[in-house]
Structure 1
C-alpha cells in the first residue's frame, strides 16, 4: 500500500527495506493474518473464505482449513483477487518500528486492522469540517 505524500515524513527513510524484511523474510511471503500468498490470485467469498490452490482446500479468515464446501449460491459471489502484502503497525504508531509492532498483512486483513483508525479519522475530519463551518459560516442548516 503506497504511503501518501503528506505521511511520508512519519516513516523512517529505510521503510521500503524494513517492510520487505517483515513481509518476505519474517512472514515468508504470506499474510500473517490469514495466510494468503503474496503476488498470487486467489478466489474469495464475501465472508472471508478463500481457495488455497497450493493445498487444494478452502480456508477461513484466519487461514485455517474449512472442512465444508461453500454452497452453490455462495459461489455466485466468488471474486478473483491478487494478493499484495503490506507491512502494518499494530498500534498505528508509525514511529514505533519495533519488530514486534510490525506485521505483514494482505489488503483484506490490513483494511480490517485499520478500520477503527479509519473510523476515528473520519469522525475527526467531519467534526473539523463542521467546526470550521460554524466558525466561518455560522451554524449549519439542518440536513
Structure 2
C-alpha cells in the first residue's frame, strides 16, 4: 500500500529494509494469514479460496486446506464449451504482492509484533474498518467546513 504523504514522517528512515526483512526473511515470501506466495499468479474462486500449486490443493483465506474441490485443470474441463468461450480462462487469476502491514494501524509502531507480511487481499480485509473510519472522518470534515463557509 502506498504511504499517505501526511503519514510519511511517521515511518522510520530504514522502512524499505524493515519491510523487506518482514516480508522475505520472517515470512519467507508468503502471506502470514493465508500463505499465498509473493510474485506468483494464483488461481482463486473469488471468495478467498485459492489453489496452492506447490502443495497441489485448494486453501481457504486462512491458509487451511479445503477438501472436496477438484483441481483447477479438472474444473476447467467440466465447464460447458460455448462458441467464443475459452474454457481455460474462466477461473480468475491474481498476481500476489506482499506488503508490510501495521497490525494496529499505527505507522509509528514498527516492532516485529506490530508488523505482518500480508498479500493484497488480506491487507485490504485487515484495513477495511480503518478505511471506513477514515472515509467517514473525511466526509464529516468536508461537510463541517462547508457549513462553516456557507457552501
Higher mean displacement: 6-15 or 120-129: 6-15
Unpaired runs of 5+ residues, structure 1, are 139-143
Pick aligned residue for 2:148 from 109, 132, 135? 135
Which residue of 1 is the match for residue 45 of structure 2?
A: 45
TM-score after normalising by structure 1: 0.88
Which residue of 1 is the match for residue 14 of structure 2?
A: 14
Which residue of 2 is the match for residue 60 of structure 1?
A: 60
Give the conservation status (yes or no) of the 8 Å contact 1:44–1:81. Answer: yes
Q: Offset at 1:77?
A: 6.5
Q: Say if 1:6 and 1:41 are closer, same or farther in 2 by CA, change over 3 A.
A: same
Q: What number of residue pairs does the alignment pair up? A: 137
CA distance in 2, matches of 1:126, 1:5: 19
Pick aligned residue for 2:110 from 97, 106, 111? 97
Which residue of 1 is the match for residue 130 of structure 2?
A: 117
Unpaired runs of 5+ residues, structure 2, are 80-86
Give the conservation status (yes or no) of the 8 Å contact 2:50–2:58. Answer: yes
Deviation string for 1:6-63 (max 9, x for gaps)? 3321211100000000000000000001000000000111211001111111100001
TM-score after normalising by structure 2: 0.84
Deviation string for 1:98-128 (max 9, x for gaps)? 1111100000000000001000000001101
Q: Secondary structure at the match of 1:133?
A: helix
CA distance in 2, matches of 1:5, 1:128: 19
Which residue of 2 is the match for residue 78 of structure 1?
A: 91
- Root mean square deviation of aligned Cα: 1.9
Query: Structure 1 runs of 4+ off > 3 angstroms?
Result: 70-73
Higher mean displacement: 21-30 or 62-71: 62-71
